[in-house]
Amino acid sequence: MDRVLVEVDGMLRTLSRRGASAARPSPAEGHAEAQLSDRERKHVAGLMRVNHTGEVCAQALYQGQALTAKTAGTRSEMQEAAQEEIDHLVWCEERLDELGARPSALNPIFYGASLAMGAAAGLVGDRVSLGFVHATEERVASHLRSHLKALPDTDRKSQLILQKMLEDEERHGENALNAGGKELPRQVKTAMSQVAKLMTGSTYWI
């Protein structure tokens, strides 16, 4: 019951604006705001909204996996990664505020779906759960790279945030494999990519 209450608290903090606090300062802190056109500002806001929803999903995945993890070691691995994902969540939300934009209205839906997937992966077994983390982080890293290329050259603040997120996500994926994660079949990874496209395609606008 204690674990359930902790995860419920984590859910409320994830979905409530200003409900979470970062342990690390934003990489964009102290950097000047770029002069962006209205079109560029809307585009950057769309990208950051996608990344913010990605972090909401990451929190849900880790919370679901921690809830059903078979061993304390795996649970600790999930919780440690989740803390860094909270930093990403807060950084993205702060950047959205600076751009005069709001997080996606679809966040509760994607949170619920991700929580269920994380819990299901944990129930299958810790090796599969860790493998799911690795496969997820592969996809997150891929879209972060594409977003870095899509950002205006002058938007240093967003670039710094996404670059640090990319470094963290790649490390999370490697840690999951090193902790005993199992490589998931190509078909599963393909399905995950299709779900990711649905999320990114919708939250850019909504």
Digit-coded pLDDT (tens) for 24-34: 999 999 999 99
Contact 203, 106 (CB under 8 A): yes
Question: The domain 2-11+35-203 belongs to what CATH superfamily?
Answer: Ferritin, core subunit, four-helix bundle (1.20.1260.10)
The backbone region for 201, taken as left when phi is positive above 0, alpha when psi lies in -120 to 50, beta otherwise, is: alpha
In a 3-state reduction of DSSP, which class is residue 197? Answer: helix
Phi, psi of 41 (to 5 degrees): -65, -40
| H or E, element range at 17 | none
pLDDT digits (tens, 9 = 90+) for 46-95: 999 999 999 898 888 888 877 777 677 666 666 677 778 889 999 999 99
Q: Spell out, as residue ranges, where the chain has pLDDT lower than 50.
A: 12
Phi, psi of 164 (to 5 degrees): -70, -40
